């Protein structure tokens, strides 16, 4: 991992952002393995709202060499401080997939895992919560509930309707892993409201 000389602003901002991140929801389907997985948009939904709230942006540069691609994920704070790491993956074209498609698939994979790794988030059941006898999933914190309710008030969102959308009886039952998803929905609504008012 590489970083700017100082992380005096980025470090506390990243810690604050991680408090508001949950695990990435698995919404994409892999028909070959017959299982669900968290794709790049799922990882971004779990991370970017919390990062942006703390004035942290993200870039993912791509470079390549012989049959490999490298994605460098950089977290940038508004102060100019940054930290980055790179993930290099091989790609192989095979029947039905040309080299450009194979490289694109490797890039998407590296972007997904690079961002998840930099933010230190798991996917929904990576922590073993799907294993029998494991502790029930953690629910949102009081601070996260407060942030959600503030955003709901700002966007005129009724709590009962929002709970139905999130498939929970009450907001306090929301799994911490789904906090990023909930915030992304409220942020999208806030953006639409702002655009309609302008």
CATH of residue 44's domain is: 3.30.160
> Across residues 162-170, what is the average pLDDT?
86
Rounded to a whole number of angstroms, the distance between the first and last alpha carbons of the chain is 42
Structure tokens at 185: 């929905």
DSSP-derived secondary structure letter, 141: P
Query: Would you say residue 193 has pLDDT above 50?
Result: yes
b/e map 91-100, b = 16+ CB within 10 Å = beeeeeeeee
Q: Which candidate, 24, 118, 102, places its Cα nearest to that of 69? A: 102
Residues 15 and 72 in one domain: yes
Percent of the chain with pLDDT over 90: 31
- Global confidence as pTM: 0.60
pLDDT at 71: 94
* Residue 73, pLDDT score: 95
Same domain, 7 and 64: yes
Domain edge (last residue) among 57, 88, 119: 119
pLDDT of residue 32: 60
Question: Between 169 and 32, whose confidence is greater?
Answer: 169
- Say if residue 84's pLDDT is above 50: yes
Q: What is the per-residue pLDDT for 83?
A: 95
Query: Is residue 176 in some structural domain?
Result: yes
> What letter would DSSP give residue 176?
G
pLDDT at 34: 67
pLDDT: is 189 or 158 the higher one?
158
Residues 80 and 115 in one domain: yes
pLDDT band (50, 70, 90) for residue 130:
very low
Residue 16: inside a domain: yes
- Segments forming the whole domain that contains residue 161: 142-197
Q: What is the mean pLDDT of residues 109-133?
A: 69
CA distance 169 to 172: 8
Same domain membership, residue 70 and residue 103: yes
């Amino acid at each position: 991992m590489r970083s700017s000389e100082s992380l005096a602003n980025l470090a506390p901002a990243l810690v604050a952002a991680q408090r508001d991140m949950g695990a990435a929801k698995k919404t994409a389907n892999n028909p070959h393995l017959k299982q669900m997985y968290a794709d790049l948009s799922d990882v971004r939904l779990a991370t970017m709202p919390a990062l942006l709230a703390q004035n942290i942006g993200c870039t993912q540069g791509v470079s390549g060499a012989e049959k490999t691609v490298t994605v460098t994920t950089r977290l940038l704070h508004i102060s100019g401080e940054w930290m980055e790491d790179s993930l290099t993956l091989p790609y192989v074209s095979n029947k039905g997939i040309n080299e450009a498609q194979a490289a694109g698939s490797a890039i998407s994979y590296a972007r997904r895992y690079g961002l998840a790794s930099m933010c230190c988030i798991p996917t929904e059941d990576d922590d073993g919560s799907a294993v029998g006898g494991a502790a029930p999933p953690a629910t949102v914190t009081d601070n996260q509930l407060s942030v959600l309710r503030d955003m709901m008030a700002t966007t005129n969102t009724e709590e009962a309707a929002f709970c139905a959308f999130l498939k929970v009886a009450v907001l306090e039952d929301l799994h911490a892993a789904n906090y990023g998803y909930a915030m992304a929905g409220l942020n999208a609504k806030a953006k639409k409201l702002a655009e309609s008012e302008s």
